[in-house]
Amino acid sequence: MNGARIRTMLPTDIDGVLQVELNCFAVPWSRVAFENEINDNDLAHYLVLEAGDRIIGYAGMWMILDEAHVTNIAVISGYRRQGLGERLLLALIGQARQLGAVSMTLEVRPSNTAAQVLYRKLGFENRGIRRQYYSDTKEDAIIMWRDGLDTDGADPLAKA
């Protein structure tokens, strides 16, 4: 979808982001959680994906020293499989690089094979398992890392 744009999340975006959460996750984050992230967490950096005036996706990370930890990435069901999740993650990688990150990590459900394919395409590798990580199903999480953000050059796909 060429008309979609990515920008920094604002406090006024929380209602739209909550709609994405409800569409995408069995255990969505709360309004208070997002308010805390946007207003009070200096480590947090969030982006929204818009189609027209509607928020159709978002992504977030925490910058901890020189590591970026992806907290969330989601695109609502009607807009998936159009490369929008990839655009969001590439934007997050670019932002992490600008903020001085040398590596990025995330967790993904073993059952979310589509996300794993995307993450591997963008240079992430499996590094471990968090047992019973997801509270709704007690499913484990695969821990994935991408190193070398500081040496990839300008192209986020350089390691892919």
Residues with a known catalytic role? 107, 119
Question: Which CB contacts under 8 angstroms, 24+ apart, belong to 2-5?
Answer: 3/51, 3/52, 4/49, 4/50, 4/51, 4/56, 4/79, 4/84, 4/87, 5/49, 5/50
Q: CA-CA distances (angstroms) from residue 23 to 26, 68, 71?
A: 8, 25, 17
Site of tokens 């925490």:
62
Nearest to 144 by CA among 64, 115, 91: 115
Q: Provide Rg for the chain, Cα atoms.
A: 15
